[in-house]
């Protein structure tokens, strides 16, 4: 047994830790050496977005102690940044096991540090936490959630005063402060409970009103108010506010999947509460088939992500990927803005570097700028912050099922995205006499058929983390010279922020991005794009594939789709992923 692991574990047997925790650690020492190593071989890292990990005892697990250390470190940093001010923070949580317990612990620590604390009375969506920070003029905020991870996980997202997750230099500086908190006695608790203020349904109305202000086609909704919509919150925080927002927009025929409207951190009806997966959407789609719904939508447990399934004909539905959802929402916004003469010089949209290249073609058509940024919605928020007061942000998103229309919050918003998607479906019916899926096909004819896929390679634990790093090092040292016979024209390395022109050997700075990230990207002569990056929140390395073909007419859609999918399958084989 590693001596360092045992040393750290024995500390957790001391009287500073509660009896249940001590017993759990003792059981690991006596009966589960592998589990002991995984629980203590390192400290759960407070990364650039906060914490995320498996729940349990130990320094590498999510528990009240690791949450406490992180919160005290964040509190110490806030006191440094806002010296002399009365610091205000907002706190929310999702439906995961222990989320309320962790959120109340965070509130106690902040209050004990002398902060004014705004704690929601129950679970709320992540975007409402972002909204609360802005609305209440808070200096920071915390959302207790592990997003769409499996039930064993929980997490902790840290937010800054603009309502976005923390970015440089605050992220790195917070990490330094968190690392200084190593003992339970350093964490302040049990003081100033009067500093904790509870936010209830009255505050929800402010958030819902901000979403309602995004509405673009109220007349189309009025004509299609009875359009059948099926929604599932996947046992999470969207259960009340997503249907409320849809009703606010004017939709009356909303059916919620009853089994998945039950708040349960064990997510009993799904393997994983990730709406990207067809398995998680099965109950909703089956219900849609039964009632012949026009549109199926889902949000993840903290309701920042949205997934859409569209009816292609009676009894048949197709689950969109995140890129397709983004395209539909962005095209709907841009079309309506253009029709209403709202677009001005300098207006812009945003996407991440691993998202489809199609938004760039769409934005060019409407004369708006399309900015690229690193993966993570905080980088989209950073661009909004940089342009605030100068140019208007229209919308933006990422391939991982996140979209934000408008700048009232600074994180992806599944609640508003559901309302916007439903309105787009009503608008298509009213103005074009077609479904959203038929309009998507038309968009592919107009802009080119962009097709994307994602492969997640999971590598668990200490050995898995080392293997992922070795894979990245190998790709960095020996990038492919060609992909499916097409020469790799450019190699992007976001750790150095340089792009290599393989023909000339010249390296140039990557334009428009000044934050570094462990991402590699290869673009071939025929426009194929492959991106590789380790996940920042899960034990995975991710491979993103993007291919393109011209689509001459909708009648050729299925054939072209099959050709592009075949090309992606061949790419996976060439990179030994299939």
Taking only the tens place, the pLDDT of each residue in 488-540 is 999 999 999 999 999 999 999 999 899 899 999 999 999 999 999 998 767 89
pLDDT at position 536, please?
Answer: 73
Residue ranges covered by each domain of the chain: 42-205, 226-319, 323-412, 449-574
DSSP 167-194: -TTHHHHHHHHHHH--SGGGS--S--GG
Res. 417: pLDDT tops 70: yes
pLDDT at position 47, please?
Answer: 73
Distance CA 302, CA 219 (A): 31
Mean per-residue pLDDT for 218-241? 98
pLDDT at position 116, please?
Answer: 98
The residue with tokens 């397709």 is: 324
Least confident span in 48-62, 69-83, 180-194, 327-341: 48-62
pLDDT at position 100, please?
Answer: 98
pLDDT at position 237, please?
Answer: 98
Neighbours of 96 (CB within 10 A): 31
Residue among 379, 351, 353, 352 nearest 363 (CA): 351
Res. 547: pLDDT tops 90: yes
The residue with tokens 């689950």 is: 319
Burial class of residue 194 (count of CB atoms within 10 Å of its CB; 0-12, 13-18, 19+): exposed
Superfamily covering domain 226-319: Alpha-D-Glucose-1,6-Bisphosphate, subunit A, domain 3 (3.40.120.10)
| Percentage of the chain lying above the pLDDT 70 cut | 99
pLDDT at position 463, please?
Answer: 86
Res. 48: pLDDT tops 70: no
Q: Give me the active site residues, please.
A: 147
Tokens of 266: 């064990």
Res. 207: pLDDT tops 70: yes
Q: Which residues pair with 306 in a beta bridge?
A: 299
pLDDT at position 29, please?
Answer: 96
Res. 323: pLDDT tops 70: yes
Res. 216: pLDDT tops 80: yes
* CATH class assigned to 449-574: alpha beta
Mean pLDDT over the full length of the chain: 96
Residue among 390, 348, 338 nearest 371 (CA): 348
pTM: 0.95
Mean per-residue pLDDT for 96-124? 98
Residue among 316, 291, 313, 320 nearest 228 (CA): 291
Mean per-residue pLDDT for 365-383? 95
CATH numeric code, 42-205: 3.40.120.10
The reply to whether 42-205 and 449-574 are identical in fold is no
pLDDT band at 46 (very low <50, low <70, confident <90, very high): confident
pLDDT at position 444, please?
Answer: 98
For domain 323-412, give the fold. Alpha-D-Glucose-1,6-Bisphosphate; Chain A, domain 3 (3.40.120)
pLDDT at position 315, please?
Answer: 85
pLDDT band at 1 (very low <50, low <70, confident <90, very high): low
Mean per-residue pLDDT for 407-420? 98
Tokens of 332: 């709907």
């Amino acid at each position: 047994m590693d001596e360092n692991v045992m040393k750290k574990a024995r500390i957790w047997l001391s009287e500073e830790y509660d009896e249940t925790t001590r017993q759990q650690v003792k059981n690991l020492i006596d009966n589960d050496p592998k589990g002991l190593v995984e629980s203590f071989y390192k400290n759960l890292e407070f990364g650039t977005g906060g914490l995320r990990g498996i729940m349990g005892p130990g320094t590498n697990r999510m528990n009240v102690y690791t949450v406490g250390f992180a919160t005290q470190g964040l509190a110490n940093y806030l006191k440094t940044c806002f010296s002399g001010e009365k610091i205000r923070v907002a706190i929310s949580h999702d439906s995961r096991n222990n989320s309320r317990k962790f959120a109340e612990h965070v509130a106690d620590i902040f209050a004990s540090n002398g902060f004014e604390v705004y704690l929601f009375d129950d679970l709320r969506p992540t975007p409402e936490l972002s909204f609360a920070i802005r609305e209440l003029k808070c200096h920071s905020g915390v959302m207790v959630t592990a997003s769409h991870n499996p039930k064993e996980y929980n997490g902790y997202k840290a937010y800054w005063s603009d309502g976005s997750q923390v970015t440089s230099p605050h992220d790195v500086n917070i990490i330094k402060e968190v690392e200084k908190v190593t003992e339970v006695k350093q964490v302040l608790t049990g003081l100033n409970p009067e500093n904790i203020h509870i936010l209830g349904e009255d505050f929800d109305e402010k958030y819902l009103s901000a979403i309602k202000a995004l509405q673009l086609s109220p007349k189309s909704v009025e004509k299609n108010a009875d359009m059948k919509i099926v929604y599932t919150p996947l046992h999470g925080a969207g259960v009340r506010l997503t249907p409320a927002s849809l009703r606010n927009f004017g939709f009356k025929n909303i059916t919620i999947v009853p089994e998945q409207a039950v708040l349960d951190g064990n997510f009993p009806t799904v393997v994983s509460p990730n709406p990207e997966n067809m398995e998680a959407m099965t109950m909703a789609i089956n219900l849609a088939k039964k009632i012949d719904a026009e549109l199926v939508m889902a949000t993840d447990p903290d309701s920042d992500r949205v997934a859409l399934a569209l009816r292609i004909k009676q009894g048949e539905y197709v689950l969109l990927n995140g890129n397709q959802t983004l395209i539909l929402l962005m095209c709907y916004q841009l079309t309506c803005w253009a029709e209403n003469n709202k677009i001005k010089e300098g207006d812009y949209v945003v996407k991440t570097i691993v998202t489809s290249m199609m938004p760039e073609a769409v934005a060019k058509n409407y004369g708006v700028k399309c900015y690229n940024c690193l993966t993570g919605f905080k980088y989209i928020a950073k661009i909004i912050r940089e342009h605030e007061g100068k140019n208007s942000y229209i919308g933006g998103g990422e391939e991982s099922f996140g979209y934000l229309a408008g700048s009232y919050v600074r994180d992806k918003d599944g609640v508003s995205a559901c309302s916007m998607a439903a309105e787009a479906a009503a608008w298509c019916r009213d103005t074009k006499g077609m479904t959203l899926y038929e309009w998507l096909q038309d968009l592919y004819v107009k802009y080119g058929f962009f097709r994307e896929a994602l492969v997640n390679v999971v590598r668990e634990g200490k050995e898995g983390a080392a293997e992922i790093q070795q894979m990245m090092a190998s790709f960095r040292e020996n990038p492919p010279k060609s992909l499916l016979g097409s020469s790799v024209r450019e190699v992007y390395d976001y750790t150095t922020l340089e792009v290599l022109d393989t023909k000339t050997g010249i390296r140039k700075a990557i334009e428009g991005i000044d934050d570094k990230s462990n991402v590699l990207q290869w673009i071939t002569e025929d426009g194929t794009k492959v991106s590789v990056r380790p996940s920042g929140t899960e034990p995975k390395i991710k491979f993103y594939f993007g291919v393109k073909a011209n689509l001459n007419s909708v009648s050729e859609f299925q054939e072209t789709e099959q050709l592009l999918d075949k090309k992606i399958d061949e790419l996976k084989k060439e990179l030994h992923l299939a």
